[in-house]
Amino acid sequence: MYDYRMIQIPPNISVQRKAAQGTEAASYLQDLVNQQSAQGWEFYRVDSIGVKMQPGCLGALFGQREQLVLYYVVAFRHPRLDTANQG
């Protein structure tokens, strides 16, 4: 049995063109994983989750449609303390 921690990350990472190396996403994720690892969390996986955003009353009145917004969530886990010592 595990406990899980989910951390939502931004869908885009901004960098200056001159500073871009092509590894920004990997570096961002590596820093996050290392931070959580230092707190005892094991990296588990990355998921994308789509959320439909419904327009408000005025937006619907003016023909605004629902929007699908994509979020990214990084999952970490560690063994539950109450089951870690059971064998």
What residue numbers bound the domain in which 76 lies? Answer: 2-84
Residue 76 — pLDDT band, cuts 50, 70, 90? very high
**pTM given for the model:** 0.73
Domain count, the chain: 1
Contacts of 44 (CB under 8 A, 6+ apart): 4, 75, 76, 77
Backbone angles phi, psi at 59, to 5 degrees: -60, -45
**Per-residue pLDDT at 84:** 54
What CA dihedral angle connects 28, 33, 35 and 39, to 10 degrees? 170
Amino acid letter, residue 58:
L
CA atoms of 47 and 72, how far apart (whole Å): 6
State the average pLDDT over residues 30-46: 97
